[in-house]
């Protein structure tokens, strides 16, 4: 590998696009690169190797990667090398070389275990190196070299891949089949993290609650509870759950183990049975609301959030109104909503995308406006409560500290203490004001 301007060849810059799975994959990629003798740099101009860990869930995320590659094409003349990792790499494969000939490495997420071998080829001067897997891979990307970016909050991937084949989603094709780690390996990693001072752990998977212990020792709910009982761990979160595999024992575990956060993210995607069927979601509105009922009936006040897609092919005005009414009935604390965009290789690509972009934008705006009204009401229940918040930083412009509650809500608060609480510490905050997206309060002893 050549370099210029006195830049060491074994320096790298990595930019991550997409979800928490990608963020954690990047932590593992960085750890592997550091173990192989590479040095991470903060500016793209300082790097001999430029990597993009990509997302293809939505069209704009994919376009952003190719725009970034085009922006930095000029750096090729300085001897820099480029690599595309992740979902776009797996989806597009060697076509990336045609679209961006200056790219030297294309590697899907299921091939990261072979990174040291691929890096050796790159250093030997090979121009086009691929690491791609078909859906049948049984490999997971576990590494002891994870370079965690946050010293207090960390991720553990417990399951990779997806077998659900929702009509709009590329994940089953870019991430491979579902494959779970043993509960013993997950518990060992949780214990290591606790020993290193991590107090907030998030269990990850494309469908995290579809976890199936290869050793047969623990269900997902049992694994959740066990991680929550590791000494030193104060908060355990999990994302993302699939409604089909969301079972009542998960709610029972949250009720029973204080360290399990009182927050469930359960993507519904639509409130209409017609659309859910077309999406191949494998549950009905009524079945979803039954699961919402389990959460609402819990002893603890469990926050619920969801994902929604508007403008899926064939979604009528009546279907859309059913999504609005489901938001009201469920009383979500947040909704992450997106306009439908066709994705390569998915079943929905063959459906006529009959809804105009303007109409999709209109529906998205209506949904988010209605949801803001719902949140303005649901957040009121916190007024006057004292909540534990993990300190995440400081908003200098407002002169406030910023924290996060167990319900995964932002808490902005002031402190009259002479010694201000440190990042990563836990403090009690009396909530004195609420907004549709955050809580405001005063730290108390």
The answer to whether the CB of 278 falls within 8 A of the CB of 312 is yes
Question: Tens digit of pLDDT for each residue in 183-236?
Answer: 999 999 999 999 999 999 999 999 999 999 999 999 999 999 999 999 999 999
pLDDT (0 to 100) of residue 418: 86
Task: Pick the closest to residue 177 from 197, 160, 194 (CA basis).
Answer: 160
277 sits in which H/E element? helix 273-278
Q: Taking the CA of residue 25 as centre, how many other CA atoms within 13 Å lie in the half-sphere pointing to its CB?
A: 32
Examine the pLDDT at 140 and tell me if it is beyond 80: no
Grade residue 6 by pLDDT with cuts at 50, 70 and 90. Answer: low
pLDDT category at 144 given cuts 50, 70, 90 is low
Counting other chains too, the contacts that 250-254 makes at CB distance below 8 Å and 24 or more residues apart are 250/209, 250/220, 250/221, 250/224, 251/294, 251/295, 251/298, 251/302, 252/221, 253/221, 253/222, 253/224, 253/225, 253/228, 254/224, 254/298, 254/300, 254/302
When pLDDT is averaged across residues 61-77 and rounded to a whole number, the result is 81
Which position has the higher pLDDT, 8 or 400? 400
- What is 11-52 written as a DSSP string? EEEEEE-SSHHHHHHHHHHHHHHHHTT-EE-SSGGG-SEEEE
Query: Mean pLDDT, to the nearest integer, of 417-441?
Result: 95
Read out DSSP for 378-428? HGGGGTT-EEEEEEEEEETTTTEEEEEETTS-EEEEE---SSPPPTT-EEE
**pLDDT at 155 > cutoff 60:** yes
pLDDT at 374 over 80: yes
Model pLDDT for residues 226-254, shown as the tens digit of each residue: 999 999 999 999 999 999 999 999 999 99
What's the whole-number mean pLDDT along residues 111-138? 87
| Domain 150-261 -> CATH class | alpha beta
Indicate whether 338 pLDDT > 80.
yes
Q: Are 292 and 251 in contact (CB under 8 A)?
A: no
Which CATH number applies to 263-381? 3.30.750.200
If phi over 0 gives left and psi between -120 and 50 gives alpha, with beta otherwise, what is residue 314?
A: left
State percent of the chain over pLDDT 70. 97
d(CA 150, CA 217): 30
pLDDT of residue 29: 93
The whole-number average pLDDT for the span 300-319 is: 98
Which pLDDT belongs to residue 386? 98
Distance between CA atoms of residues 152 and 72, nearest Å = 34
Dihedral sign, Cα of residue 334, residue 340, residue 343, residue 348: positive
Residue 63's pLDDT is 82
Average pLDDT over residues 303-312: 98
Buried b (16+ CB within 10 A) or exposed e, 347-361: ebeebebebeeebbe
383-444 fold? OB fold (Dihydrolipoamide Acetyltransferase, E2P) (2.40.50)
Identify the pLDDT of residue 8.
62
**Average pLDDT value over all residues in the chain:** 92
Q: Which of 291, 144, 288, 263 is nearest to 202 (CA)?
A: 263
- Quick one: which of 442, 428, 382 has its CA closest to 407? 382
Is the predicted pLDDT of residue 1 greater than 50, yes or no? no
Give the mean pLDDT of 40-51. 94
pLDDT of residue 149: 83
Which one-letter DSSP state was computed for residue 317?
Answer: H
Residue 113 pLDDT: 84
Q: What is the pLDDT of residue 4?
A: 45
- Mean pLDDT over 8-28 rounds to 88
pLDDT band at 74 (very low <50, low <70, confident <90, very high): confident
Q: Of 280, 65, 264, 270, nearest to 165 (Cα)?
A: 280
Q: Is residue 51 a contact partner of residue 29, using CB atoms and an 8 Å limit?
A: yes
CA distance 359 to 70: 32
In whole angstroms, what is the distance from residue 433 CA to residue 430 CA? Answer: 9
> Which stretches within 331-386 are classed as H helix?
357-378
User: What mean pLDDT is predicted for residues 43-47?
Assistant: 92
pLDDT tens for 80-106 read 999 999 988 988 889 999 989 989 999
- Work out the average pLDDT over 144-149: 79
For residue 143, give every residue at least 6 positions away whose Cβ sits within 8 Å of its Cβ, in sequence order, or none.
28, 31, 32, 113
Question: Is it true that 150-261 and 263-381 share their CATH fold?
Answer: yes
What mean pLDDT do residues 152-166 have? 94
User: Where are the domains positioned within the chain?
Assistant: 11-131, 150-261, 263-381, 383-444
Q: What is the pLDDT of residue 19?
A: 83
User: Of 3.40.50.12160, 3.30.420.40, 3.20.20.210, 3.90.700.10, which CATH number belongs to 11-131?
Assistant: 3.40.50.12160
For residue 62, what are the CA distances in angstroms to 18, 300, 344?
10, 40, 11
Q: Quick one: pLDDT at residue 55?
A: 86
Selection from 21, 64, 363, 344 nearest residue 206 by Cα: 21
Euclidean distance between CA atoms 268 and 323, whole angstroms: 9
- Can you give the pLDDT at residue 2? 43
**In the Cβ-directed half-sphere of 153, how many Cα atoms lie within 13 Å?**
20
Spatial separation of the C-alpha atoms in residues 72 and 154, rounded to whole Å? 31
């Amino acid at each position: 590998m050549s370099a210029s301007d006195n830049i060491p060849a074994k320096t790298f810059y990595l930019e991550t696009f997409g979800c928490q799975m990608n963020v954690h994959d990047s932590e593992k990629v960085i750890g592997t690169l550091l173990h192989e003798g590479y040095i991470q740099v903060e500016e793209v101009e300082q790097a001999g190797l430029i990597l993009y860990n990509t997302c293809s869930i939505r069209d704009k995320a994919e376009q952003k990667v190719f725009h970034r590659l085009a922006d930095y094409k000029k750096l090729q003349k300085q001897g820099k090398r480029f690599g595309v990792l992740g979902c776009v790499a797996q989806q597009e494969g060697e076509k990336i070389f045609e679209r961006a000939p200056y790219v030297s490495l294309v590697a899907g997420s299921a091939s990261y275990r072979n990174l040291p071998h691929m890096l050796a080829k790159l250093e030997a001067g090979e121009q086009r190196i691929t690491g791609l897997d078909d859906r049948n891979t049984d490999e997971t990307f576990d590494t002891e070299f994870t370079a965690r970016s946050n010293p207090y909050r960390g991720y553990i991937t417990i399951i990779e891949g997806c077998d659900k084949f929702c009509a709009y989603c590329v994940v089953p094709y870019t991430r491979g089949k579902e494959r779970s780690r043993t509960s013993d390996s997950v518990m060992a990693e949780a214990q290591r993290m606790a020993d290193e001072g991590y107090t907030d752990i998030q269990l990850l998977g494309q469908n995290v609650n579809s976890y199936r212990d290869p050793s047969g020792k623990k269900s997902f709910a049992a694994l959740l509870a066990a991680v929550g009982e590791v000494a030193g761990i104060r908060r355990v979160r999990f994302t993302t759950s699939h409604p089909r595999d969301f079972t009542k024992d998960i709610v029972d575990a949250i009720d029973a183990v204080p360290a399990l956060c009182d927050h469930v993210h359960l993507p519904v995607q639509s409130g209409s049975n017609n659309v859910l069927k077309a999406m191949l979601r494998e549950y009905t509105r009524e079945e979803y609301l039954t699961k919402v009922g389990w959460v609402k009936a819990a002893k603890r006040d469990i926050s619920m959030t969801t994902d929604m897609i508007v403008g899926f092919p064939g979604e009528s005005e009546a279907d859309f109104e059913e999504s609005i009414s489901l938001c009201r009935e469920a009383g979500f604390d947040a909704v992450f909503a997106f306009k439908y965009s066709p994705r390569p290789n998915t079943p929905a690509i063959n459906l006529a995308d009959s809804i105009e972009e303007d109409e999709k934008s209109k529906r998205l705006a209506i949904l988010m406006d209605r949801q803001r009204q719902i949140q303005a009401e649901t957040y009121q229940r916190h007024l006057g409560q004292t909540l534990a918040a993990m300190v995440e930083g400081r908003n200098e412009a407002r002169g406030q500290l910023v924290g996060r509650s167990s319900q995964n809500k932002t808490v902005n608060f002031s402190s009259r203490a002479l010694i201000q609480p440190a990042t990563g510490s836990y403090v009690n905050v009396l909530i004195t004001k609420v907004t549709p997206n955050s809580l405001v309060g005063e730290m108390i002893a």
